[in-house]
Amino acid sequence: MVYTEFVSSDALVRAVNKTQQKLVISNEERPVAIQIYGKETEAVTEAARIVEDARPDVFLFLIGCLRI
């Protein structure tokens, strides 16, 4: 199992290239887990939609940082 570095939801929503590259998954890396974190509920929600398109095998949220 491969785990990505923690991915910033804010950086994903802003389309920061370095962050987007963390979502590029090859078949050789599978199974793969993508981990995201963030403070703003809206940004984490949008980032989850973006990560879904990468089709990870596991999707982890660091939800202790959300501001609700």
Element containing residue 66 per DSSP (H, E):
none
Asked if residue 66 has pLDDT above 60, the reply is no
Domain count, the chain: 1
**The domain containing residue 29 runs over which residues?**
2-65
pLDDT of residue 7: 95
Distance of CA 66 to the CA centre of its chain: 15
- Indicate whether 64 pLDDT > 90: no
Q: Is the pLDDT of residue 67 over 60?
A: no
Specify the higher pLDDT residue, 67 or 38: 38
Look over the chain and give the mean of its residue pLDDT values, rounded to a whole number.
Answer: 90
pTM: 0.81
Dihedral angle of Cα 53, 62, 11, 46, to the nearest 10 degrees: 50
